[in-house]
Structure 1
Amino acid sequence: MNARTERKTIPIQDINEASNCSSAEPYALMVLGDSMLPEFAEGEIIVVEPSGLVKDGSYVVAFVNDEYIFRQIVKHDDGWMLEPLNPVYENIPVADIDVAKGVVIMKKNPGKRSEQKRYI
């Protein structure tokens, strides 16, 4: 990659802890990678509600294994899982829904002005 196309990762913990915004205010993130295909493509923008209601099937930003990740939280008989939509990636078992730090409420494709989808 050259300097113009190189992407940098911005830890979202900085957004929540060091921002002038209230921790309860929604924020936007860009989807990186293909773990949430086909529903969420790389480059799409997701809007995250930090105080949103987490329930079975919610798309969430979660903090596990010392990092933030974007997954779907799903209840199984043996507990909760953070599941990618792309079957190439593995499920991550979690103790409970407290790992979820925000619920995705909307996505927008920045290349298509009118293309957006709500999840609430």
Structure 2
Amino acid sequence: MADPTMDSTGCSMHEPYALQVLGDQMEPEFPDRCVVIVEPTDNRQNNSFVFAEVEGVRWFRKYVRSEDGTERLVAVNRIYPDIDLDGLDWHVLGVIIQRNIRRKIKHYDYSQEPETSPTVAITDLTGR
């Protein structure tokens, strides 16, 4: 539920914001203490890095949607378990668009369509 003391109609609620990563759950891509920039949108795509709230707890994870439609949040560091989202109350608070590690910046662009295999025409060379 929204905090009634905050004005959610202002434009600041729609501006990107910075968070500092604490812990090793997203290493090596996002090491402990690096800074990420979050675009406040729930417009997630498969394999995008998201800041999400699940059952009242906030997580920084990779969003994964399987071919069968199941959704989960995955830590890059595989020693941490996946969070299966089936049947849970959850939503995306924002999508990570930038990482900063000691002034080395990396941008994440999810606007590109996923690559698909090219269509190849097959020609019958046997003459049949």
Instruction: State the partner residue of 2:92.
Output: 100
Q: 2:57 aligns with which of 67, 77, 84?
A: 67
TM-score by length of 2: 0.70
Instruction: State the partner residue of 1:8.
Output: none
Q: 1:45 aligns with which of 12, 16, 35?
A: 35
- Note the residue ranges of structure 2 that are not aligned, 5 or more in a row: 110-128
Establish whether residue 86 from structure 1 lines up as the match of residue 77 from structure 2.
yes
Query: Letter of the aligned partner of 1:41 in structure 2?
Result: P
Identity of aligned residues (%): 37
- Give the structure with the higher percent helix: 1
RMSD: 2.3
Count of aligned pairs: 102
Alignment partners' CA distance in 2, 1:89 and 1:105 = 23
TM-score by length of 1: 0.75
- Note the residue ranges of structure 1 that are not aligned, 5 or more in a row: 1-12
Query: Letter of the aligned partner of 1:68 in structure 2?
Result: R
Alignment partners' CA distance in 2, 1:51 and 1:60 = 9
Alignment partners' CA distance in 2, 1:49 and 1:116 = 16
